[in-house]
Amino acid sequence: MRRAVVIGTGAYLPERVMTNADFESIVETNNQWIVERTGIEQRHIAAENEYTSDLAVHAGKQAIEAAGIAPDTIDLVIVATTTPDDTMPATATKVQYRLGITKGAAFDINAACSGFVYAMSVANGFIVSGQARRVLVIGAETYSRILDWKDRGTCILFGDGAAALLLDAKEQNGTNDDRGILFAGIHSDGQHTDWLRTNGGVSTTKTSGVMSMAGKEIYRNAITRMPEAVQEGMIALGLPLSAIDWLVPHQANLRILHGVGQKLHISEDKVIATVQKHANTSAASIPLALHIASHDGRIKTDQLLACPALGAGLTWGCFIIRW
Ligand SMILES: CC(C)(COP(=O)(O)OP(=O)(O)OC[C@H]1O[C@@H](n2cnc3c(N)ncnc32)[C@H](O)[C@@H]1OP(=O)(O)O)[C@@H](O)C(=O)NCCC(=O)NCCS
């Protein structure tokens, strides 16, 4: 059967680094509080004239170069983002053009922090059904533009960044030993839209608004829904949780990452955590962690990875991939 196999990765973090100490002059907080409650040490902030599409192009270009393929052989570009350049056109179309991709289609997906899991699920559907062969999946965000810089409960948590996976259709045996996406499950429940939201948007206030969050509710749901999503996938595959080589969750906060691991009886040394260095980059966080950990030698070919996420909506889900 056809499987969606990763043939290249890329990542980009803006040049400007903002440390926890930098927040001390903006809101009433300190490095110790932020590190103890979140594990976050620093985040990257996009320059004034640097947009989500710019971040996405850097990451996408790197993934294409790593794969060593011609851009023109890519037939779908999906950008997962909650912070598009403009209301229209889709950021993905700008990225497609700037990467020299002239055929196929490009569109954005907005599922907030679950965006990358949603995008991988859609990409997998296109590849397995034969509708696309090569799909560039990018998570790209400039959350610094929608933060309430007066709210210490949220502004310290997020950062800007982008990362990409290039997927290629490969003929495999149809077993759990195959390389590629083995499972992708997505969920949403719209009854708690007010837990994580912006206070405006195109149709309501004609502005993009700024973010607010019910931290405790999101925390509680994150450490419940993400383990459930991993379990759903492993049960569907008929594999024990012990078969997971690496848990690579949405990089929201170190306590959440370890909480998800604990619920699944996966030890901390099998949980990839990169949030310390880039904070929560929403849809970019899972591919950033995958890029970093596959380059530093932790994630190796043929290893089994479980990648769950939860975000505003609520939305949540998990993809399971053999690298
Ligand atoms: C935001 C979060 C770190 C707060 O941690 P917490 O342990 O729940 O802390 P609380 O909200 O109970 O706040 C405790 C105190 O710290 C204060 N506080 C909040 N942010 C602070 C900050 N940056 N610096 C210092 N103090 C802060 C609160 O005002 C509160 O003070 P009070 O007791 O005087 O009212 C935590 O709720 C969380 O991680 N939530 C999920 C966030 C997330 O990752 N969301 C994205 C998922 S996609």
pLDDT by residue for the chain (323 residues), tens only, comes to 999 999 999 999 999 999 999 999 999 999 999 999 999 999 999 999 999 999 999 999 999 999 999 999 999 999 999 999 999 999 999 999 999 999 999 999 999 999 999 999 999 999 999 999 999 999 999 999 999 999 999 999 999 999 999 999 999 999 999 999 999 999 999 999 999 999 999 999 999 999 999 999 999 999 999 999 999 999 999 999 999 999 999 999 999 999 999 999 999 999 999 999 999 999 999 999 999 999 999 999 999 999 999 999 999 999 999 99
Structure tokens at 138: 């990018």
Q: What is the total count of domains within the chain?
A: 2
Same domain? 62 vs 119 = yes
Domain at 307, CATH number: 3.40.47.10
Same domain? 283 vs 191 = yes
CA separation for the pair 292, 183 (Å, rounded): 22
Which of 106, 137, 171 terminates a domain? The answer is: 171
Same domain? 164 vs 258 = no
Omega prior to 89 cis, within 30 of 0? yes
Same domain? 146 vs 200 = no
Same domain? 164 vs 197 = no
**Residue 1: exposure state from Cβ atoms within 10 A (0-12, 13-18, ≥19):** exposed
Q: What sign does the CA torsion over 289, 295, 296, 301 have?
A: positive
Distance 118 CA to ligand 1 centre (A): 27
Same domain? 80 vs 203 = no
Burial profile 8-21: b = 16 or more Cβ within 10 angstroms, e = fewer: bbbbbbbeeebebe
For the CA of 153, the closest atom of ligand 1 is 20
Distance 119 CA to ligand 1 centre (A): 29
Distance 203 CA to ligand 1 centre (A): 30
**Residue 50: exposure state from Cβ atoms within 10 A (0-12, 13-18, ≥19):** middle
Same domain? 79 vs 194 = no
Which of 143, 171, 199 terminates a domain? The answer is: 171
| Domain region containing 72 | 2-171
By most ligand atoms within 8 Å of CB, the mutation choice from 38, 143, 219, 275 for ligand 1 is 219
CA 291 to chain CA mean position, Å: 11
Same domain? 199 vs 78 = no
By most ligand atoms within 8 Å of CB, the mutation choice from 34, 35, 37 for ligand 1 is 37
Q: Write the CB contacts of 33 (distance below 8 Å, at least 6 apart in sequence).
A: none
Same domain? 229 vs 121 = no
Which of 171, 188, 221 terminates a domain? The answer is: 171
Find the radius of gyration of the CA atoms of the chain: 18
Same domain? 102 vs 149 = yes
Output the residue whose Cα is nearest ligand 1's atom 25. Answer: 29
